[in-house]
């Protein structure tokens, strides 16, 4: 018993030093967070998302020593770095290699053969410019890189991959994933384009040189009034990003995004993100795949 008491003396301190409990998030303070997220990122946080804010941010709020969510809201409002941290916590970054395979199938069977034919007839250069907008940790742009390097071996390929979150861009640039992710990649591509960690890197898969060479990463907020993503892009993929936007911010984001599309370019959105009623400038060539209407006026 004496030993146990001694151990307790070392491991505990007087209860007066215990941190105070974090008080519940009230609807009014939640509205403050929702307004900030909407203004900053275009993302609509419906009231049902209150539990999400609590589950994703409580640990951070406690670590900062706050007992009230209003104090954290004040900090997020006045400190741009904390704002980035907060936005990263409440956005969803889930992604997979070759996610929504029918898009990759459409590229392989229809879009790329048509591009090859056009280049052979001298109607277009042998180069392809692609933008993965909202690329998360890089699985989408690296999947595109594998497919395009395979099917367009002697073309000049340029894949821009962007995301609001600097943290996911850093991880995409590093190009490292747990080895179980290899199951998402067809065998032939896995062997040709990916590396398997040895020794201290066992259990890790790394992007190989060939795919790294054609993908460039940058942070970019699609809700910004202006951004540099280049013009005349052949393919834009903005998949599973707009699910979190409302009609107004979705329209604004799409109208800006398509200013970057080449006249014959294609825009891919995620499978639950129809653009019906969003803009008159696009026509659906497939559900979730869009091209510009011919009479679409490009902004100056
Ligand atoms: C669910 S992931 C989708 C990744 C990939 N496109 C896919 O389909 O697998 C959504 C990504 O969109 C990003 N995002 C959310 N709002 C954004 C905004 N306003 N500008 C740019 N990226 C944004 C998030 O940071 C997140 O990484």
Mean predicted confidence (pLDDT) in 24-33: 96
Mutate to test the pocket of ligand 1, among 87, 94, 164, 244 (most ligand atoms within 8 A of CB): 164
- Per-residue model confidence as pLDDT tens digits over 241-258: 999 899 999 999 999 999
Q: What's the pTM value of the predicted model, to 2 decimals?
A: 0.91
Out of 99, 129, 163, 234, the active site residue is 163
**CA 227 to ligand 1 centroid distance, Å:** 16
The two beta strands, 204-207 and 194-196, are: antiparallel
Quote the pLDDT of residue 13: 67
Mean predicted confidence (pLDDT) in 35-39: 96
Mutate to test the pocket of ligand 1, among 91, 135, 167, 227 (most ligand atoms within 8 A of CB): 91
163 catalytic? Reply is yes
Whether the pLDDT of residue 2 is over 60: the answer is no
Whether the pLDDT of residue 8 is over 80: the answer is no
91, two tokens: 């956005």
């Amino acid at each position: 018993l004496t030993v146990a008491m001694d151990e307790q003396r070392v491991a505990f301190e007087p209860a007066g030093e215990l941190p105070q409990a974090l008080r519940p998030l009230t609807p009014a303070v939640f509205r403050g967070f929702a307004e900030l997220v909407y203004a900053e990122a275009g993302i609509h946080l419906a009231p049902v998302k209150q539990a999400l804010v609590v589950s994703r941010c409580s640990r951070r709020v406690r670590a900062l020593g706050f007992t009230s969510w209003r104090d954290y809201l004040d900090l997020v409002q006045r400190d741009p770095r904390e704002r980035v941290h907060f936005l990263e916590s409440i956005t969803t970054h889930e992604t997979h290699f070759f996610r929504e395979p029918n898009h990759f199938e459409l590229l392989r069977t229809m879009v790329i053969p048509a591009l090859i034919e056009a280049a052979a007839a001298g109607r277009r250069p042998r180069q392809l410019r692609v933008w993965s907008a909202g690329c998360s940790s890089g699985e989408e742009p690296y999947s595109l890189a594998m497919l395009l390097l395979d099917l367009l071996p002697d073309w000049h390929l340029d894949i821009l991959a962007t995301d609001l979150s600097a943290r996911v861009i850093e991880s995409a640039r590093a190009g490292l994933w747990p080895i179980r992710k290899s199951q998402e990649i067809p065998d032939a591509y896995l062997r040709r384009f990916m590396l398997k960690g040895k020794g201290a890197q066992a259990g890790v898969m790394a992007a190989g040189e060939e795919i790294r060479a054609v993908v460039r990463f940058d942070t970019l907020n699609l809700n910004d009034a202006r951004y540099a993503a280049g013009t005349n892009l052949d393919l834009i993929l903005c998949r599973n990003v707009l699910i979190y936007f409302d009609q107004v911010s979705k329209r604004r984001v799409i109208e800006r995004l398509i200013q970057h599309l080449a006249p014959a370019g294609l825009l891919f959105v995620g499978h639950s993100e129809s653009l019906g009623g969003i803009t008159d400038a696009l026509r659906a060539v497939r559900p979730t795949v869009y091209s510009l209407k011919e009479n679409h006026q490009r902004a100056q």
